[in-house]
């Protein structure tokens, strides 16, 4: 089934450790996004990529980095995790090339629940 996969499903991590959250889509969408979801704050954009080879900062980029080496993969890295990065992380993708009817509609992965102790 086409869609977005995220790994791991959940992770408990010691503060100071490096962690990479993986995201892969098989829909050939040109744009991909990373959000974090926190209770009472909704979804906040961390980083995004409009096309392979380009990335941009969202609302809460500090402490996170991304890369977009190809169309399908968009990993999110926490270089040195801190407890405030405890959250549920969602990857999403969208494809403006498919026409106005789906313009900016985003498809979401199942999420990664990260706990930093």
Partner 1 sequence: AQSVTQLGSHVSVSEGALVLLRCNYSSSVPPYLFWYVQYPNQGLQLLLKYTSAATLVKGINGFEAEFKKSETSFHLTKPSAHMSDAAEYFCAVSSYSGNTPLVFGKGTRLSVIA
Residue 104, CB-side half-sphere exposure with 13 Å CA sphere? 0
Residues 58-87 touching partner 1, rule: CB under 8 A, are 58
Q: Are 91 and 23 in contact (CB under 8 A)?
A: yes
Query: Minimum distance between the CB of residue 51 and partner 1, rounded to whole angstroms?
Result: 8
Q: Name the β-bridge partners of 116.
A: 13
- Applying CB under 8 A, among 43, 67, 68, 71 the residue interacting with partner 1 is 43
Q: Are 51 and 70 in contact (CB under 8 A)?
A: no
Comparing CB distances to partner 1, the nearer of 21 and 111 is 111
The interface region with partner 1, picked from 15-23, 44-52, 62-70, 75-83 by CB under 8 A, is: 44-52
Comparing CB distances to partner 1, the nearer of 14 and 101 is 101
Comparing CB distances to partner 1, the nearer of 70 and 80 is 70
CA 84 – CA 12 distance, rounded (Å): 13
CA 51 – CA 32 distance, rounded (Å): 8
Query: Minimum distance between the CB of residue 90 and partner 1, rounded to whole angstroms?
Result: 6
Interface with partner 1 (CB under 8 A): 4, 30-31, 33, 35, 40-45, 48, 50, 58, 90, 92, 94, 96, 100-101, 103-111
């Amino acid at each position: 089934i086409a869609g977005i996969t995220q790994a791991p499903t959940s992770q408990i991590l010691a503060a100071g450790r490096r962690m990479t959250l993986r995201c892969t889509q098989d829909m050939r969408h040109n744009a991909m996004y990373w959000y974090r979801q926190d209770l009472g704050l909704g979804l906040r954009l961390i980083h995004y990529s409009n096309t392979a080879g380009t990335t941009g900062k969202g609302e809460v980029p500090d402490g996170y980095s991304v890369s977009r080496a190809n169309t399908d993969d968009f990993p999110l890295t926490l270089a040195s995790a801190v407890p405030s990065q405890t959250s549920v992380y969602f990857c999403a993708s969208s494809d403006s090339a498919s026409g106005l009817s789906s313009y900016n509609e985003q498809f979401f992965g199942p999420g990664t629940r990260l706990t930093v102790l």
